[in-house]
Structures are given as structure tokens and as C-alpha cells.
Amino acid sequence: MHPRVEPFQEQQGFVTFAQNTEHVDYLKLAYVQAMSIKLVIPTAKYAVIVDEATLARVEDKHRQVFDYVILLEYDSAKDDTWKLSNEPQVFWLSPFKETIKLEADIVFTRSIEHWWTMFRLRNVVLSLGCRDFKGELSEVRRYRKLFDDNHLPDTYNGLMYFRYSREAANFFDTAESIYKSWDYIRDEILINCREELPTTDVVYAMAASHLGVENCTLPEIDFVNFTHMKNAINTWPETTPWPELVLSELDLPMIRVNNVNQYHPFHYQDKNWVTDEVVERFEHEFRR
């Protein structure tokens, strides 16, 4: 793990990575995410980590929403189409002493400011489980066979917390080692692993298992998670993208799916949900 060389700029804030690919404009997703957070927490601070190519696309409108734009100087996923192996670098790139790290395709419909108090019970907190669009904790295991086969905790990296500490350093050091040793871990350690490349969910679950799940989760606080819009979690057929199966409405900051208000952080997952119209709606509301 690289040493930290920059001083902290703030006590706490939100961070995501935005490395554009051929098919996904992650900068656009981060822009919408930042606006969604500031609509419900006007004092929130937000940082986005970008590579050089994505940095070149940052415009004034983005900088009006992003408090920090941080260049990823060492891109360990430069040749990958799915740039997950950079994730552990968030530990030393975050400008905050306390960080809520998000995947870029999550938006917020109400404040989670009170979550900070509970997060401080640990130096690292991973989300446990996820919810369907009706707000119910999901029992669907369609996407979790590798976890079940290997007795990994049901953690999700889409929303996580860490505080700059020795424990967090050990967590991200462990995660980085798993990424680097993935071929051996995939072929020799994990049972029934068919993932050619590691997902961050799996890597962080393994890191949590290694360091003690009790040190990286808050199982007694069951609402620290998010709504996951993957089809099977919501008992929808997987042959059609979910935005084509159900009605989603914006009454910002609230989002409704089939007339159900989405109170938890909303992991829309299908990047095509963020259309130009959706971006314009967020911009209009943010500038009011």
C-alpha cells in the first residue's frame, strides 16, 4: 500500500471512483450521485477519483458539484475493461479522515447523516445484505453462490465506511494482496469459483473473513445497506433490463419504483437508467 503523503482536507465525506470505459460514462454517474447527496445533505463533501483520460472530461459543471477531483496516478487496472483492482487505493487517496465509499451507480433520496455515528463503532464497516425495491431485506441467493459455497459473509462494497486507522490500513492491504494473487486464489483456494477476474464484493468479503467479520460489519444495525435493482433480487426476469419492466419516477430527491418510495440508498445498477433527461432533472433540482 502506498504511504499517505497528502494531509486530510476534511473530517468526513463521500468518495467514488469514476474511470470512464468504452461503454460506461462513470463521470456522469458520479455527477448525478454527488447532486443526489447534496440535495439531501447540503453540507456534505464529495470527492471523485479519476484517471487522466476521465480528468480531461471534467467540466465546470462537474466542479460546481465535486468538492475534490483526485487524480489516480497509479492505475493498476489500466488495461482492464472493468477497473476494480484500483479500489483499495481509496484508503490513501481519500481527502477525508472518515470516508463513505460508494459505487458510482448509487443515488440518495434522503439523508443518512445519522449513519456516521453508528459507523464510528468500527474502523471499517461493510454493508450487510441488500434490499429489494419494496424495501424488504433480500433472501435471493442468485448472485451469491460463490459466497455461499465458500462461507463468505454477505457483504456488499457498494456502500462502505472506513476511518483512517491501522485496522483500515490492514483491511485495504489485505484486499490489495487478494487482487494481486487472484489467479492462485481462484484456482487453488476458492470452491466453485468461475470468476476470471475478482469482483470487489468477493475481495472485500475475503478480507473481512481474514481480519474478522465482527471487526468489519455491524450486524445488529440491519438498515446499513441499500436497495439493489438487479433483476433477480426483485424477482423480475433477467432477459429484460429492469427500467423496461417497471415504472420509475423522479420526484426529487425522492425516487419511486412502481409507486413505491425508495428510502434507502438506491443502487440502480443498470447504467442506462441515467439518461440525459435524468441528468437534467437532477441539475434542475440542484440549482434551485
The string of pLDDT tens digits covering residues 19-61 is: 999 999 999 999 999 999 999 999 999 999 999 999 999 999 9
- What does the DSSP assignment read for 198-241? --HHHHHHHHHHHH-GGGT--TT-TTSS-EE--TGGGT--TTS-
CA–CA distance, 46 with 59 (Å, rounded to integer) = 16
Range 72-83 average pLDDT: 70
Long-range contacts from 67-74, C-beta under 8 angstroms, 24+ separation: 67/10, 67/13, 68/9, 68/13, 68/95, 70/95, 72/17, 72/19, 74/2
pLDDT at 2 over 60: no
Range 231-244 average pLDDT: 96
pLDDT at 77 over 80: no
Q: What is the pLDDT of residue 227?
A: 98
On whether the CB atoms of residues 30 and 16 are closer than 8 A, the answer is: yes
CATH number at residue 195: 3.90.550
Q: Which residues contact 146 (CB under 8 A, 6 or more apart)?
A: 152, 190, 192, 193, 194, 195, 202
pLDDT at 81 over 70: no
Structural domain total, the chain: 1
On whether the CB atoms of residues 10 and 22 are closer than 8 A, the answer is: no
Residue type, 222: D
Cis peptide before 7 (omega within 30 of 0): no
Q: What is the pLDDT of residue 141?
A: 95
Tell me if 3 is assigned to some domain. Answer: no
Tell me if 4 is assigned to some domain. Answer: no
Tell me if 189 is assigned to some domain. Answer: yes
Q: What is the pLDDT of residue 78?
A: 66
The string of pLDDT tens digits covering residues 98-108 is: 999 999 999 99
Q: What is the pLDDT of residue 85?
A: 82
Grid coordinates in use for 65? Answer: 458539484
For the entire predicted model, the pTM comes to 0.95
pLDDT at 229 over 70: yes
Tell me if 5 is assigned to some domain. Answer: no
Grid coordinates in use for 27? Answer: 463521470
Residue with cell 476511518: 163
Domain containing 100 equals 10-287
Tell me if 1 is assigned to some domain. Answer: no
The string of pLDDT tens digits covering residues 143-191 is: 999 999 999 999 999 999 999 999 999 999 999 999 999 999 999 999 9
Q: Which residues pair with 48 in a beta bridge?
A: 16, 69
CA–CA distance, 23 with 280 (Å, rounded to integer) = 21
Q: What is the pLDDT of residue 235?
A: 96
Q: What is the pLDDT of residue 275?
A: 97
